[in-house]
């Protein structure tokens, strides 16, 4: 606020107070005069404080904070976050590839027993790639690892 504006407001308040004082009957006593002086003094003090704060540069201006996007770090790893990481580069042995005839048709995969015998890190194969199938011949169950699933998880799978 500028000094001109503050002085204009102060002059207007004094003029209105003066007009009001002349319109009242002659009963105005010391109490009314004291109220007028207190009000005018309060206006002068407020105007001076505003003017001084602007001179000192202590004006508080609130600006909206802009959102700065942070790098998204998910709490849980996405489904295929570990794909193609260097620790999953083990090659799946070709000799473990089998085709098992089931009642639903042939199922291709890699035999779990063969993988355990030929790979050092067979225990770290992903469980979601593991499937149990019932063999038609003999009624035995076989545990296989799905080749596409292993490839999605970063293992080098040879195709025939």
Residue 158 included in any domain: no
Query: pLDDT per residue over 83-142, tens digit each?
Result: 544 455 678 888 999 999 888 899 999 999 999 998 888 888 889 999 999 888 887 888
The answer on 96 and 45 residing in a single domain is no
Is 11 among the domain residues? yes
- With 0-12 CB in 10 A as exposed, 13-18 as middle and 19+ as buried, what is 144? buried
- The answer to whether residues 90 and 51 belong to one domain is no
Three-class SS state of 157: coil
Domain count, the chain: 2
76 belongs to a structural domain: no
pLDDT score at 103:
86
Domain extent for 46? 3-56
Q: Kindly report the pTM of this predicted structure.
A: 0.44
95 located within any domain: yes
Where would I find the beta strands (DSSP E) of 103-146?
105-111, 130-134, 141-145
Give the three-class secondary structure for 52: helix
């Amino acid at each position: 606020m500028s000094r001109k504006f503050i002085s204009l407001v102060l002059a207007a308040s004094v003029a209105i107070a003066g007009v009001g004082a002349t319109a009242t009957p002659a009963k105005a006593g010391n109490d009314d005069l004291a109220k007028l002086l207190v009000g005018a003094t309060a206006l002068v003090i407020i105007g001076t404080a505003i003017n001084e704060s602007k001179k000192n540069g202590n004006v508080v201006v609130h600006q909206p904070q802009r959102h700065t996007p942070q790098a998204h770090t998910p709490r849980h790893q996405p489904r295929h976050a570990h794909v193609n990481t260097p620790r999953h580069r083990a090659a799946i042995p070709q000799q473990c590839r089998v085709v098992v005839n089931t009642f639903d048709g042939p199922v291709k995969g890699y035999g779990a027993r063969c993988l355990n015998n030929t790979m050092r890190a067979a225990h770290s194969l992903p469980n979601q790639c593991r499937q149990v199938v019932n063999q038609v011949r003999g009624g035995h169950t076989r545990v296989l690892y799905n080749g596409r699933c292993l490839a999605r998880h970063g293992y080098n799978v040879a195709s025939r």
